[in-house]
Amino acid sequence: MKNKLKQVRLKKRLRQCEISVKGGIPISTLSRIENNWVSANAKQRKALARVLKVRESWLFPESSKAV
């Protein structure tokens, strides 16, 4: 399971600290999500998609299958 979070963040030239502040997610949690050590919860997925300006279902396709 590979999420696209880091790929999109780097493409948009954003730092983890920027996304952390804009999304209200601790930077340590963001790092863990990027490295697939933990899964983002629904609130975090929504915030990350909003900050990165992409669809949540595209950013975290495995989450939409679990419904």
pLDDT digits (tens, 9 = 90+) for 16-27: 999 999 999 999
What string of DSSP letters covers 6-58? HHHHHHTT--HHHHHHHHT--HHHHHHHHTTSS---HHHHHHHHHHHTS-HHH
Which residue type, as a one-letter code, is found at position 32?
R
| Statement: residue 15 has pLDDT above 50 | yes
Taking the CA atoms of residue 6, residue 15, residue 49 and residue 32 in that order, the dihedral angle to the nearest 10 degrees is 50
Q: What is the largest CA-CA distance in the chain?
A: 32
Per-residue model confidence (pLDDT) at position 14: 96
**DSSP letter at 66?**
T
Domains of the chain (ranges plus CATH)?
Answer: 5-65 (1.10.260.40)
